[in-house]
């Protein structure tokens, strides 16, 4: 009723003296809202694909004819501009692209059916009537930024003096113990030999950039949102190209530095900075032919393998970042890329003196996750790009993609299979196995959640044909099952404690899953599984509060869940009588000015109440 009143007031302002009832009864309006007979009941046909292709095919794809939701847009022409020089954890930008609900100042993060989590959150908050944030007043915000700059300068001066050989060695050890075992893009033995000057280093500028990036990641892994040495090292790595431009030279160390620095930027809540660094890394890698195998090139087996690791590391980071930010994946397709997958071998099996290709291990190694995740992206990147197109996927097309994804899991190594028990005590293996499944379930959530939300908004009072209703019900079950599996898995994994890197990914995937369950509670209050959904939300809250509390973003995630879902299932009936129909899908007030967009939900992110 409030929205209707606002619309009537707006019409009265735009057309003074107009009779609204007379306008609605005019033949022009009736003609405008009456669907064309040629369009009623029609739906595009797609050739069903039972296996996942490795490149998108636009011909014959299935397209949904449901209403297309407008994209979130800022109100000014420069609203997509962004600046990430002084990002804080209390700001609206986050590296997970899941909490920045206001479109202004954070860059473009995709359309309604895109892969970006924040777009789904915008829809959910708006529909539930909670889309609002209390923002820091301009003067207070400026004062905060000034204080942060001063603290960074002071700590940077101390950090420069404190960067002794012993400190550098500790940070390097932390990087290889915590980060490298998850993302082995830099050969440890080679880097340490270069550091000790046993073998020649790369060109000085590239070496300095890679060296400071590795130390910065080590400091980040040890740190908990404390500005200091990590910030100094990060800024140092970023500015190394000022005097000798990274645009004017290319080598493998530069690509490694750019890839790692982009990931660190994202985890420091500077996603657009990381995005640009990835773009430069891709272009530089292509100029070095990292995407090509070049079998006639007479280089050592180890040099060739390191090139593969760098390329596939870049490939999974760029694929993951593009999906996270709801932006097109612009990597080479399979036709122009023939580099082999990385070898699943231990470092001891491949050294600079190796002249015969070693046999791949039947068990997990540091490189197993890189090999499996790159294969997943090879088979699913076209899905992410397809979700960015208009119109969105139909239920039939989504189910076809799901079947292909399930078939892909049968190609995974046995030690990564969900239905196979494999005994391995190493933490890096447990995280690798968990992370690949979290990512797999997250992709299912991404594929199906826009169908789930669309059905939740449009389903009440709408009669669907039996076939469509059956397919959409199956989509709903798959999406909720993926979310449920994610919540259970992350809780079980994190209960034993986790590193900062592990906590970051757990927070990211857990929040996506919890939002799906939250939507289900709000949308289907009479469902038989309602009590199970409430248990899932409680478990997610508990995991954020007790197991992931050291991650600064987890408090913001809990805040959102607390606002959306009460612990009392009786409160769910509040949404049951809200009159919603298909027209609600095209009336999201995202193009309105910020003060109108954020006036109904008192949400203060400057405090962490958990």
- From 83, 175, 68, select the one nearest 114 (Cα to Cα): 68
Rounded CA Rg of the chain = 25
pLDDT of 337 strictly over 90: yes
568 Cβ contact list (under 8 Å, min separation 6): none
Checking if the pLDDT of 582 tops 70, the result is no
pLDDT digits (tens, 9 = 90+) for 414-455: 999 998 888 898 999 999 999 999 999 999 999 999 888 877
Separation between Cα atoms, residue 429 and residue 82, nearest integer Å: 38
The per-residue pLDDT for 357 is: 94
Task: Pick 524 or 487 by higher pLDDT.
Answer: 487
Q: Which of 328, 240, 318 is nearest to 282 (CA)?
A: 318
The more confidently predicted of residues 543 and 590 is 543
pLDDT given for residue 18 in this prediction: 56
- Residue 312, pLDDT > 50, answer yes
- For the chain, helix (H) and strand (E) counts, in that order, are 20, 0
Cβ pair 534, 569 in contact under 8 A: yes
Q: In terms of pLDDT, which residue wins out, 588 or 214?
A: 214
pLDDT confidence tier of residue 206, bands split at 50, 70 and 90: very high
Residue 359: pLDDT band (50, 70, 90) is: very high
Give the three-state DSSP class for 45: coil
pTM over 0.85: no
CA 477 to chain centre: 22
Q: Which long-range contacts (CB under 8 A, 24 or more apart) does 200-205 make?
A: 202/251, 202/252, 202/253, 202/254, 203/249, 203/251, 203/253, 205/240, 205/241, 205/244, 205/246, 205/249
For the segment 209-232, the average pLDDT, to the nearest whole number, is 86
Listed residue (528, 526, 541, 510) closest to 576, CA to CA = 526
Length of the chain: 610
Task: Name the pLDDT band for 552 (thresholds 50, 70, 90).
Answer: confident
Cis, peptide link before residue 600, omega less than 30° from 0: no
What percentage of the chain reaches a pLDDT higher than 70? 63
Assess contact for 187 and 214: CB atoms under 8 A. no
Mean pLDDT lowest for which of 207-221, 282-296, 592-606? 592-606
Q: How many Cα atoms within 13 Å fall on the side-chain side of residue 287?
A: 14
pLDDT per residue as tens digits for the range 2-52: 556 665 665 555 555 556 666 566 554 444 444 443 443 333 333 333 345
CB 503 within 8 A of CB 91: no
Q: Enter the tokens of residue 49.
A: 């694909």
Are 312 and 332 spatial neighbours (Cβ–Cβ below 8 Å)? no
Which of 205, 321, 324, 315 is closest to 257 using CA atoms?
Answer: 205
Cis peptide before 391 (omega within 30 of 0): yes
Strand partners, 604: 134
Nearest to 476 by CA among 406, 402, 408: 402
């Amino acid at each position: 009723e409030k929205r209707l009143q606002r619309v009537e007031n707006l019409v009265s302002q735009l057309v003074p003296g107009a009779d609204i009832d007379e306008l609605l009864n005019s033949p022009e309006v009736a003609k405008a809202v009456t669907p064309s007979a040629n369009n009623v009941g029609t739906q595009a046909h797609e050739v069903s694909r039972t296996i996942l292709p490795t490149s998108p095919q636009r011909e014959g794809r299935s397209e949904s004819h449901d209403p297309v939701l407008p994209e979130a847009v800022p109100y000014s022409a420069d609203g997509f501009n962004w600046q990430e020089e002084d990002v804080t954890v209390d700001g609206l930008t986050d590296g997970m692209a899941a909490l920045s609900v206001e479109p202004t100042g954070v860059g473009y993060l995709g359309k309604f059916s895109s892969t970006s989590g924040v777009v789904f959150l915008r829809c959910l908050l708006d529909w539930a009537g909670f889309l609002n944030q209390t923002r820091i007043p301009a003067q207070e915000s400026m004062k905060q930024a000034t204080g942060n700059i001063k603290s960074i300068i002071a700590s940077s001066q101390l950090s420069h003096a404190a960067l002794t050989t012993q400190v550098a060695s500790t940070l390097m050890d932390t990087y290889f113990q915590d980060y490298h075992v998850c993302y082995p893009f830099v050969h440890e033995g080679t880097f340490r030999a270069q550091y000790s000057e046993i073998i020649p280093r790369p060109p000085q500028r590239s070496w300095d950039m890679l060296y400071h990036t590795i130390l910065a990641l080590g400091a980040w892994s040890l740190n908990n949102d404390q500005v200091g040495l990590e910030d100094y090292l990060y800024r140092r790595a970023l500015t190394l190209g000022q005097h000798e431009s990274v645009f004017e030279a290319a080598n493998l160390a530069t690509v490694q530095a750019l890839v790692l620095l982009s990931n660190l930027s994202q985890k420091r809540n500077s996603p657009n900075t990381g995005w640009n660094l990835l773009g430069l890394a891709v272009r530089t890698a292509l100029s070095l032919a990292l995407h090509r195998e070049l079998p006639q090139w007479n280089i050592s087996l180890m040099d060739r393998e390191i090139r593969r690791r760098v390329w596939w590391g870049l490939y999974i980071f760029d694929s993951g970042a593009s999906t996270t930010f709801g932006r097109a994946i612009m990597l080479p397709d399979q036709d122009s890329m023939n580099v082999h997958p990385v070898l699943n071998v231990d470092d001891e099996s491949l050294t600079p003196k190796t002249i015969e290709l070693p046999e791949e291990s039947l068990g997990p190694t540091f490189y197993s996750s890189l090999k499996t995740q790159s294969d997943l992206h090879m088979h699913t990147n076209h899905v992410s790009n397809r979700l960015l197109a208009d119109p969105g996927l139909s239920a039939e097309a989504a189910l076809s993609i799901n079947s292909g994804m399930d078939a892909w899991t049968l190609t995974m190594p046995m030690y990564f299979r969900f239905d196979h028990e494999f005994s391995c005590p190493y933490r890096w293996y447990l995280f690798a196995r968990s992370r690949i499944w979290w990512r797999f379930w997250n992709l299912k959530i991404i594929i199906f959640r826009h169908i789930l939300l669309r059905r939740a908004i449009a389903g009440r009072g709408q009669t669907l044909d039996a076939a469509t209703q059956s397919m959409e019900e199956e989509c709903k079950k798959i999406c909720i099952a993926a979310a449920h599996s994610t919540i259970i898995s992350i809780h079980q994994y994190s209960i034993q404690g986790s590193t900062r890197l592990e906590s970051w990914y757990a927070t990211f995937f857990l929040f996506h899953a919890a939002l799906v369950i939250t939507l289900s509670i709000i949308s289907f209050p009479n469902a038989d599984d309602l009590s199970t959904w409430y248990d899932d939300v409680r478990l997610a809250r508990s995991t954020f509060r007790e197991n992931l509390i050291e991650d600064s973003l987890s408090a913001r995630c809990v805040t959102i869940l607390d606002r959306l879902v009460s612990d009392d299932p009786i409160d769910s009936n509040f949404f049951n009588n809200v009159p919603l129909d298909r027209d609600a899908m095209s009336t999201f007030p995202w193009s309105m000015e910020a003060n109108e967009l954020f006036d109904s939900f008192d949400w203060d992110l400057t405090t962490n109440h958990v």
